Amino acid sequence: MSSGSWSHEVAANVPAGRLFKAAMLDWHNLGPKIAPDFIASGSVVSGDGAVGAVREIKINNPALPFSYVKERLDFIDHDKFEVKQTLVEGGGLGKMFESATTHFKFEPSSNGGCVVKVTATYKILPGVADESAKAKEGITNHMKAAEAYLLANPTAYV
């Protein structure tokens, strides 16, 4: 088994607070509306959306080796636009990973937009290839979908 981590940054042309709310706090509702070809549905399956809550996102993409992810929210800072979540079921847990956590931080940039800084930490099961490049691409697509929605809907998530 090998442990690993990676970092990734995505620049966006919307304020950190709006992207944080749309792409993180409300993604289980927004994702299926704006990326239906990828996300079938989303819901909070336990808790109220605060720390300790578990969210489930059902994937609508047969190319992926899993059909859903369940993530527990371990940490949320509404003022610094940070969230940390742990994979608790699906998403390759038990097949590809022993464990996986992701930390997102949305930092304001000088142009009025923001930079999303992502750090993932994981333990890969023996014999499984590290697919961090695909994970980074997925994060970029997620943030760019939320950014496009916010640019097209300037009063959403203000």
The pLDDT of 90-98, averaged and rounded, is 91
Report the chain's mean pLDDT, rounded to a whole number: 94
Tokens of residue 104, six digits: 């997102």
Distance separating alpha carbons of residues 80 and 24, to the nearest angstrom:
13
Residue type, 136: K
Query: How many angstroms separate the CA atoms of 132 and 148, rounded?
Result: 24
Q: Residue 130 sits in a domain of what CATH number?
A: 3.30.530.20
pLDDT at position 1? 66
Tell me if 103 is assigned to some domain. Answer: yes
Domain-embedded: residue 157: no
> Is 54 inside any structural domain?
yes
Asked if residue 95 is part of any domain, the answer here is: yes
Q: Mean pLDDT throughout 120-143?
A: 92
- The pLDDT value recorded for residue 123 is 94
The mean pLDDT of 50-63, rounded to a whole number, is 92
Number of domains the chain is built from: 1
Query: How confident is the model over 30-56, as a mean pLDDT?
Result: 94
In a domain, 158, yes or no: no
Instruction: For residue 154, count CB atoms less than 10 angstroms from its CB and return exposed for 0-12, middle for 13-18, buried for 19 or more.
Output: exposed
Write out the residue range of the structural domain in which residue 123 sits. Answer: 2-152
Mean pLDDT score, 117-134: 92
